[in-house]
């Protein structure tokens, strides 16, 4: 059975395992909309309630992909989307926009693509440091008052920014990359989330697929796959990091589990306020992830995994230079 999480200080109770939809539109090679919709339907039927998208994923395609799911299951699910990253079609380079008029236009466009009057959870995808967080939150709070947004989220912000934001309006969720090999939220952000009742939504909880143990090289990846440009997947770094995944695989074998299941179980068992949102385009992987969410790890096992994936043991940055725009490093 999937554990549960409360979304934010006073939000709904949802499945602790969410679903990241990005890869169904972009960054991980070609996808098939019909198959993606079958996977999404299977996720709902299996009990997953949180579905994560953004206006930049496929430049609106990902939100439109979710619209039929919302129309069919809106009362059973919570859909989060994001604003703030502006890109040109086919380009990875981006600019960040947090201006009030832009936010309002983006919100209305997302509502139209999703087919909803109210967005369940609306994130600032990336922060523009030129716009004070207080001003950003006032714009988002106005959208809540107008009924266009139900709850507010932030992404890749520092603990200080979160505390300043929460002084203006409750922040239901902060989304950050968090996994066995990306541990930055442990440097104060998780503590701030606990203090404020904010849920930490962990994206890329399987290390962009690397922690599954199924990716030994980038040769099989599509030419436009994001990972071909990621420093952690460069040849030397990947060879180094493979040793960590080999150790994770050995750990998982003892537990009669897969590396992916252990990676998800580590997040869910270690933190009562963390919700991982792995993405997949395969029903078999969906069920594998669900089994991982139901797996129990004891304190000693969690500590062993903490030590195995000491941040200093991981080679390579998690983004190429262009990807760091709008991310507050701690």
User: Which tokens go with 180?
Assistant: 């066995």
Q: Is 262 exposed, middle or buried (0-12, 13-18, 19+ CB in 10 A)?
A: buried
The C-alpha angle 51, 67, 32, rounded to 5 degrees, equals 80
Copy the structure tokens of residue 174.
């902060």
Residues designated as active site: 57
Structure-token pair, residue 90: 């086919």
| Sheet of strand 149-155: strand arrangement | 19-20, 50-52, 78-83, 119-124, 149-155, 173-177, 199-203, 274-276
CA 146: distance to chain centroid?
27
DSSP 8-state symbol, 27: S
Contact 161, 127 (CB under 8 A): yes
């Amino acid at each position: 059975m999937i554990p549960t999480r409360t979304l934010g200080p006073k939000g709904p109770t949802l499945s602790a395992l969410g679903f990241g939809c990005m890869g169904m539109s972009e960054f991980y090679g070609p996808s098939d909309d019909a198959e993606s919709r079958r996977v999404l339907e299977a996720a709902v039927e299996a009990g997953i309630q949180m579905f994560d998208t953004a206006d930049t994923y496929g430049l609106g395609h990902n939100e439109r992909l979710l619209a039929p799911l919302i129309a069919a299951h809106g009362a059973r699910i919570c859909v989060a989307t994001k604003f703030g990253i502006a890109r040109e079609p086919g380009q990875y380079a981006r600019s960040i926009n947090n201006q009030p008029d832009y936010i309002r236009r983006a919100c209305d466009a997302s509502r139209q693509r999703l087919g909803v009057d109210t967005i369940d959870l609306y994130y600032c995808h990336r922060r523009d440091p030129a716009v004070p967080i207080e001003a950003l939150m006032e714009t988002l709070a106005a959208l809540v008052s107008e009924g266009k947004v139900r709850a507010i989220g932030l992404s890749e912000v520092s603990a200080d920014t979160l505390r300043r934001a929460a002084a203006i309006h409750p922040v239901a969720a902060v989304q950050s990359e968090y996994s066995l090999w990306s541990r930055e939220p442990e440097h104060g952000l998780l503590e701030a989330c606990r203090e404020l009742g904010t849920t930490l939504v962990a994206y890329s909880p399987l290390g962009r697929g690397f922690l599954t143990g199924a990716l030994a090289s980038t040769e099989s990846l599509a030419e436009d796959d994001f990972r071909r440009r990621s420093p952690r997947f460069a040849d030397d770094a990947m060879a180094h990091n493979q040793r960590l995944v080999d150790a994770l695989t050995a750990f998982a074998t003892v537990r009669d589990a897969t590396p992916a299941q252990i990676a998800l179980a580590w997040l869910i068992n270690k933190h009562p306020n963390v919700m991982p949102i792995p993405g997949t385009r395969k029903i078999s992987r969906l069920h594998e992830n669900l089994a991982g969410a139901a797996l129990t790890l004891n304190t000693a096992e969690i500590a062993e995994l903490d030590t195995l994936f000491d941040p200093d043991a991981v080679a390579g940055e998690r983004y190429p230079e262009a990807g760091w725009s709008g991310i507050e490093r701690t």
